[in-house]
């Protein structure tokens, strides 16, 4: 079990490396990557049964980044675990790189599913969880969705299937920052009460501050105890967390950084 200080340091490193990758690539998705730092830190380095030395280990827990545009956060976490070398971080989005703009499971060990078409990663996670249940395996499957991703109908088809099949191996994590590429969720397509929606589909629902390490540890422990139905954790986050001029600004969903932006973001995170 990792300490709070260790997990906090991991989250800081993840944010720093996200900005380093995106600044050098001059493209990508900063806002929805930065807000995942604590969630990924707690999952990979405290909660999940996962061996970075053997990423294909049969009894491992799975993490599916359904919001595939948050790939820089996933790559930064895999780098923290030793699956990516430091010099490779500079190849993000380059032709031939293993670090594609969206995760590619055929290129990079540690990527469990190729995602990017929103909603499909959650459906894949449900399929993996169903296989685990049928085979009587203990593996858990964690699927991270964006709240804007919930606009996609496939999400709710997958949710209905997960509840019908009592997939207690499955835990959905909704990155609820309130924003998507075209603006606020409430303006683009209001999501209403997300927790109530998942509950109505048969999930056990939890709410948490997605940047509070202790609260995340606690809520993941509670989700593990759920039986005979899937769990959904609604994590309240700040898009662009950690870089003041990116926070709560939908313009930074996929906006390239200028050299000045890059320098300012690095200075904040390193300070």
Sorted by where each begins, the domain ranges of the chain are 4-270
For residue 1, what pLDDT band results from cuts at 50, 70 and 90? confident
Q: What average pLDDT score do residues 12-28 get?
A: 97
Q: What average pLDDT score do residues 162-184 get?
A: 96
Read off the pLDDT of residues 49-82 as tens digits, 9 standing for 90 and up. Answer: 999 999 999 999 999 999 999 999 999 999 999 9
Q: CA–CA separation, 262 vs 249, rounded Å?
A: 16
Is residue 9 scored above 90 in pLDDT?
yes
Closest CA to 231 of 239, 247, 220: 220
For residue 218, what pLDDT band results from cuts at 50, 70 and 90? very high
What radius of gyration do the chain's Cα atoms show?
17
Q: Where are the beta strands (DSSP E) in the chain?
A: 62-65, 141-146, 170-176, 179-180, 183-184, 204-209, 231-236
Half-sphere exposure of 255 (CA within 13 A, CB side): 19
Q: What average pLDDT score do residues 24-41 get?
A: 97
Q: What average pLDDT score do residues 260-269 get?
A: 96
Given this model, what pLDDT does residue 271 score?
81
Token reading at 139: 């593996």
DSSP single-letter state for residue 76: H
Please give the CATH topology (third level) of the domain spanning 4-270: Rossmann fold (3.40.50)
Long-range CB pairs of 83-88 (<8 Å, 24+ gap) are: 83/52, 83/55, 83/108, 83/109, 83/110, 84/108
Q: Over pLDDT 90: what percentage of the chain?
A: 99
Task: Give Cβ neighbours of residue 264 (< 8 Å, ≥ 6 apart).
Answer: 243, 245
Task: Give Cβ neighbours of residue 36 (< 8 Å, ≥ 6 apart).
Answer: 14, 70, 73, 144, 175, 237
CA dihedral angle for residue 25, residue 27, residue 33, residue 34, rounded to 10 degrees? 70
Average pLDDT over the chain, rounded to an integer: 97
Q: Over pLDDT 70: what percentage of the chain?
A: 100
Given this model, what pLDDT does residue 135 score?
96
Q: What average pLDDT score do residues 150-165 get?
A: 98
Read off the pLDDT of residues 86-125 as tens digits, 9 standing for 90 and up. Answer: 999 999 999 999 999 999 999 999 999 999 999 999 999 9
Q: How many CB atoms lie within 10 A of CB 228?
A: 10
């Amino acid at each position: 079990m990792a300490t709070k200080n260790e997990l906090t340091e991991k989250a800081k490193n993840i944010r720093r490396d996200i900005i380093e990758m995106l600044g050098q690539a001059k493209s990508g998705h900063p806002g929805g990557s930065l807000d995942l730092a604590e969630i990924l830190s707690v999952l990979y380095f405290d909660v999940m049964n996962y061996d970075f030395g053997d990423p294909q280990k049969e009894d491992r827990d799975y993490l599916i980044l359904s919001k595939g545009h948050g790939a820089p956060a996933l790559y930064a976490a895999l780098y923290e675990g030793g699956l990516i070398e430091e010099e490779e971080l500079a190849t993000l989005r380059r032709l031939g790189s293993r670090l594609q703009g969206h995760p590619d499971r055929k290129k990079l060990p540690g990527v469990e599913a190729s995602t990017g078409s929103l909603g499909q990663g959650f459906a894949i996670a449900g399929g993996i969880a169903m296989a685990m249940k049928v085979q009587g395996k203990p593996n858990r499957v964690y699927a991270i969705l964006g709240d804007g991703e919930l606009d996609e109908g496939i999400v709710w088809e997958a949710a209905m299937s997960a509840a019908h099949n009592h997939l207690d191996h499955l835990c959905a994590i909704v990155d609820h920052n309130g924003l998507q590429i075209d603006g606020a969720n409430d303006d683009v397509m209001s999501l209403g009460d997300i927790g109530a929606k998942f509950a109505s589909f048969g999930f056990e629902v939890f709410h948490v501050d997605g940047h509070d390490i202790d609260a995340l540890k606690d809520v993941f422990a509670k989700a593990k105890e759920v039986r005979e139905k899937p769990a959904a954790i609604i994590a309240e986050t700040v898009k662009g967390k950690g870089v003041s001029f990116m926070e709560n600004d939908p313009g930074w969903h996929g906006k390239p950084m200028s050299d000045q932006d890059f320098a300012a973001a690095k200075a904040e995170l390193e300070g």
